[in-house]
Amino acid sequence: MESGRPKDVGILAIDIYFPPSCVQQEALEVHDGASKGKYTIGLGQDCMAFCTEVEDVISMSLTVVTSLLKKYQIDPKQIGRLEVGSETVIDKSKSIKTWIMQIFEEYGNTDVEGVDSTNACYGGTAALFNCVNWVESSSWDGRYGLVVCTDSAVYAEGPARPTGGASAIAMLIGPNAPFAFESKYRGTHMSHVYDFYKPNLASEYPVVDGKLSQTCYLMALDACYNRYCSKFEKFEGKQFSISDSDYFVFHSPYNKLVQKSFARLYFNDFLRNTSAVEKDAKEKLEPFSNLIGDESYQSRDLEKVSQQVAKTLYDAKVQPSTLLPKQLGNMYTASLYAAFASVIHNKHKTLVGQRIVMFSYGSGLTSTMFSFKLQEGQHPFSLPNIASILNVSEKLERRHVVPPEKFVETLKLMEHRYGAKDYETSRDTSLLTPGTFYLMKVDSMYRRHYARKDA
Ligand code: ACO
């Protein structure tokens, strides 16, 4: 603490939960009659996690929060703010946060600020900023903040269906964090568009203008990157380029868009004439330097050439973040933070002193680029301990691959159950690991009842 203010506020600890059921993209291609390679190479996805009828965003949140508190030995009384990011609507009034309060009430702690934040995939970032801002503010009472990003991403039959996914992530927020926010450099772009939205309250599925959402994402990325660079330059007195960050972590609807996004940053660096772009790359990009406005987003040649010249840097600075998003799919609010967890899993031994730049995008649209500076955390918040608690490899290995027919059957059942009352689930917990929460029933008053598989 310096002059009474907490220092290096950021993420102290993180845990992830994802459902044990998944479907392989290769099998889904065959099932959907898509051309071979469309989902695996075209979208760049390997596998997709989904909730069966016994799990949902609330049960996943209860599971991940309980797990984080236990594994890091955090007294639930030490949480002073709990913020949830989600776009999966279960109730139009009652926040997911209030369900999670059960964990804290049990320990006599009801003094917990915060509710849910919603705007497509951006809600988790809004929740994170709320917690970080609280710890940095004069209303901070010295306790931890806790952020939960939880979503089950499901699409109607059609081209968007393979871009679903599911998971919940919990992050503990406080001072002296191994992942310290560089709050001064945030670059934000927000605007009104209809690229992906959920106007039909009787359905869980979004309305998607897929092509528009891709362009909106890339335009938002450009705007945020340029603002991030300007702020960096203002405070540091030198130009920012992709050489100044060790990793770039993107919201990941599907991996192909992440590949295109990094290539776009490279193209921006070329346009800004930074030293990150080498001579032969400059020559290759030169023919595109005069493309203006929408032209540059529609040019297939530019897309191809920029991906080609950025490839080596992509492998070093982006690839380590792609493991979980490729395996689990788009987890909406949790997607960016699952990519972040992948970097921790892959690189925890070498992260100290490095920088991670994050790009958060939520359709509609809201977007921010921000960054973390990494330092050695103190036990239990050390990087090796965080990686070991994440336990990514083991969690991935113990998943259960189901055939596409079973996945489609589950979605059909969930379509009937969406917004319904007075039903019981199968209570089949055979695939769940001990300690996992599950949905038992929704009663005649729409009240949801959960239980926990014996730990
Ligand atoms: N082998 C290899 N590649 C293939 C094959 C094949 N057999 N078939 C198609 N492809 C490629 C295409 O060339 C294309 O690649 P490109 O983007 O480099 O051109 C890619 O696979 C996808 O094929 P499209 O025909 O463009 O796919 P389609 O239009 O059917 O759907 C889309 C893709 C729009 C992403 C759809 O899945 C969707 O709407 N998803 C949800 C929206 C979304 O995720 N938007 C992103 C930001 S908003 C958010 O996060 C929700």
- Asked if the peptide bond before residue 206 counts as cis, ω within 30 degrees of 0, the response is no
163 lines ligand 1 (CB under 6 A): yes
- The span from the CA of 9 to the CA of 81, in Å, is 14
- 455 residues of the chain, pLDDT tens digit each: 445 789 999 999 999 999 999 999 999 999 999 999 999 999 999 999 999 999 999 999 999 999 999 999 999 999 999 999 999 999 999 999 999 999 999 999 999 999 999 999 999 999 999 999 999 999 999 999 999 999 999 999 999 999 999 999 999 999 999 999 999 999 999 999 999 999 999 999 999 999 999 999 999 999 999 999 999 999 999 999 999 999 999 999 999 999 999 999 999 999 999 899 999 999 999 999 999 888 999 999 999 999 999 999 999 999 999 999 999 999 999 999 999 999 999 999 999 999 999 999 999 999 999 999 999 999 999 999 999 999 999 999 999 999 999 999 999 999 999 999 999 999 999 999 999 999 999 999 999 999 999 97
With a CB cutoff of 8 Å and minimum separation 6, the contacts of 24 are: 46, 47, 401
What's the 152 CA to ligand 1 centre distance in angstroms? 20
Per-residue confidence (pLDDT) for residue 358, from 0 to 100: 98
Residue nearest to atom 3 of ligand 1 (CA): 42
- The span from the CA of 81 to the CA of 352, in Å, is 28
42 lines ligand 1 (CB under 6 A): yes
* Token pair recorded at residue 379: 């036990």
48 lines ligand 1 (CB under 6 A): no
> Is 53 considered catalytic here?
no
- pTM as predicted: 0.98
For residue 207, count other CB atoms closer than 10 A to its CB: 13
Per-residue confidence (pLDDT) for residue 293, from 0 to 100: 82
213 lines ligand 1 (CB under 6 A): yes
Residue nearest to atom 24 of ligand 1 (CA): 42
Length of the chain in residues, anyone?
455
- The span from the CA of 87 to the CA of 292, in Å, is 34
Under 8 Å between Cβ of 255 and 322: yes
* Amino acid (1-letter code) at residue 409: E
Q: Measuring CA to CA, how many Å separate 152 from each of 206, 285, 423, 441?
A: 12, 39, 20, 18
Per-residue confidence (pLDDT) for residue 2, from 0 to 100: 47
- The span from the CA of 72 to the CA of 158, in Å, is 42
> Is 229 considered catalytic here?
no
What's the 131 CA to ligand 1 centre distance in angstroms? 35
Mutate to test the pocket of ligand 1, among 35, 155, 213 (most ligand atoms within 8 A of CB): 213
Bridge partners (DSSP) of residue 174 are: 10
Domains, the chain, with CATH or none: 10-452 (3.40.47.10)
At residue 24, the 3 state secondary structure works out as strand
217 lines ligand 1 (CB under 6 A): yes
- The span from the CA of 347 to the CA of 299, in Å, is 35
Per-residue confidence (pLDDT) for residue 3, from 0 to 100: 59
Q: Measuring CA to CA, how many Å separate 253 from each of 91, 126, 186, 194, 309?
A: 25, 18, 22, 17, 23
> Is 216 considered catalytic here?
no
